[in-house]
Chain A
């Protein structure tokens, strides 16, 4: 089930589309030109709403509905494009900007016109330094062509787009932390409500959309709602750039209509090309580090928001990590939770302390190979105290790797406990002491 024409990854159909002239020759900026001259902002909002476009950053919230939350008549408004792509397994924003930056900028410009805003920022993670330069060059080309600036195309519409680089903090991908960071503060999330659409950047109404989401907008406006909805499923229209990584023969980004089975993405010679060395699939993480794990039993799950949720996980950002039987589940949980521990902003206790203790226990188990019987209930206890109690989704996400590992592969933890029993001094320090284990507060 391939695509006759790519919606976002157009470099596969149009050589050198990263060149401004080539982009324009292939219909680039036409949707924007037409919208400014012939459509009201409300028409564009209605189109995006009818298209069923859902936020590609992870939550899958309908984009047009989000735009509709802006309070009427309150200005200025801001549009923020979230390019803080930092979660293990995600890498499609990076490619969109490298290969097709003009479509993103047109998407930002069109969306800004739709929500009647005159200043938009593209917030990029600090590590996307060369990509930021690429984007700035593409923005400069749009200014030169008269698509940005003052009184654009004589319509009276003004718009400035700026690139803002973060400086190394995954939490800044959380929308309120992103606004804090853009305001020059440390990236700690804000309490919601008020939601950003009401009180966002500098306290003004603000819309935050992901790179892939905004890169869809020009094609929706150019080709229409019916064309867009002819891709994907009824509830998840359009395509998704799946970022496939791990032990597959062909890791990479694949733009596919929603609803393609996981097996096709992993095994088709056009996409993942199967597992390296023909080894069996062990762990599939279908939506970035924060998604609950799936196994080979779920290979027939269609990749759309509803089906992946029904299988007990989430499609999230569409970052599919596939690991084979050379990995050990406690070690994968350890590495994943080490990521969340490193990126915890420290604002709330369940996340700051919970990730710290998860990693402390998991490091001993997974890296030193030493576990005591109490470790397993302790790990259950820690994540249960975190779940539902963290200030933002980062802490909630950190629950998923360890919870999945314990639910799907308990025997791997028990094997380490059993092995440790036979070597009671093998705690890796040679002094017979155990790493501290926190006392249990809940009885399981």
Chain B
């Protein structure tokens, strides 16, 4: 029971707000970390702590994408597939993850280690392709780095350094010069990425859109095109 095991943390959260209901998101994060995902009992427990009708809390769980009401893996991998990531290698990254893990999007590996999801913009477009592993950012995840990433995450899980799927203890990562994942250096001056003379990646469509025969029925002038 959360109130018995985490009373101090819950009291701190409640003290921040002039209305108890405002604590619903932080308490759901806490419950999700303790129980692994938000079971019906967990949601009712949060409702009871906040003195809310359970329906109100079920509604909140259903609305926000970071609450999981069914079991997820030890690591939830969330890959941004929005513009511009999708044109900068996100589709290739998702394909590589699917192949390495042997699962499709929204599935969990048989050993319960990884859940794979596509998500919307992660606000790190300059570091595309980008993903979050339990809300830890990992920048510049090219397909070649997938195996190193998965090995790192498996090792952290084995050493019990995975601390819940809700990001209450999150840390962000980039790739060090030796190819290992290192925590980002927040003290370093911000440096934009630089792609020296790199070609633009190919468009991601798996099957290219059929082109009209060149020179035949492609309208030469868009204003004169028959609509």
Q: Which residues on A are within 8 Å of B, measured CB to CB?
A: 9, 11-12, 15-16, 18-19, 85-91, 93-95, 98-99, 119, 125-134, 160, 162, 164-170, 181-187, 202, 243-247, 249-254, 273, 275-277, 279, 289, 319, 321, 323-324, 326-328, 330-332, 335-336, 339, 342-343, 345, 366-369, 376-377, 409-411, 414-416, 418-420, 423, 426
Contacts and interface: CB of A to CB of B under 8 A. Distances in A.
A202 B19 contact: yes
A423 to B, nearest CB: 7
Contacts of B212: 414-415, 418-419
A252 B190 contact: yes
Contact of A184 (B21, B136, B197, B211): B21
26 contacts: A88-B84, A89-B83, A90-B123, A126-B66, A129-B170, A130-B171, A160-B16, A164-B16, A164-B25, A166-B25, A169-B63, A245-B84, A245-B126, A249-B197, A251-B128, A321-B125, A323-B84, A330-B209, A339-B83, A342-B120, A369-B207, A369-B210, A415-B212, A416-B210, A419-B210, A423-B210
Contact of B83 (A132, A336, A426): A336
Given A89-B83, A253-B192, A181 B25 contact: yes
Contact of A129 (B65, B168, B209): B168
A9 to B, nearest CB: 6
A335 B209 contact: no
B65 A367 contact: no
A366 B209 contact: yes
B31 to A, nearest CB: 12
B200 A326 contact: yes
Contact of B135 (A126, A251, A326, A331): A126
Contacts of A134: 186
A419 B211 contact: yes
B215 interface: no
B200 A276 contact: yes
Contacts, number: 257
Contacts of A326: 87, 200-203
Contact of A11 (B168, B189, B195, B218): B189
A276 B195 contact: yes
- Where chain A touches its partner, the secondary structure class is mixed
B186 A98 contact: yes
B161 interface: no
Nearest to A246: B84
B63 A332 contact: no
B170 to A, nearest CB: 3
A135 B200 CA distance: 36
A332 B85 CA distance: 12
Interface of B: 16, 18-19, 21-26, 28-29, 50, 52, 56, 59-60, 63-67, 82-84, 86-88, 119-126, 128, 132, 135-137, 166-172, 184, 186-187, 189-203, 205, 207-212, 217-219, 222, 225-227
4 tightest Cβ-Cβ pairs between the two chains A and B: A252-B192, A129-B167, A168-B65, A129-B170
Given A93-B123, A119-B18, A416-B210, A245 B29 contact: no
B167 A130 contact: yes
Nearest to B218: A415
A182 B124 contact: no
A133 B167 CA distance: 10
A250 B127 CA distance: 10
B187 A16 contact: yes
A115 to B, nearest CB: 17
A14 B227 CA distance: 58
Nearest to A254: B192
B136 A130 contact: yes
Given A86-B121, A366-B209, A12 B222 contact: no
Contacts of A418: 212, 217-218
Nearest to B82: A88
A167 B66 contact: yes
Nearest to B203: A326
Given A165-B25, A167-B28, 7 more contacts: A130-B135, A130-B136, A167-B66, A184-B25, A244-B126, A335-B82, A367-B205
A411 B184 contact: no
Contacts of A366: 205, 209
A250 B23 CA distance: 41
Contact of A170 (B88, B120, B168): B120
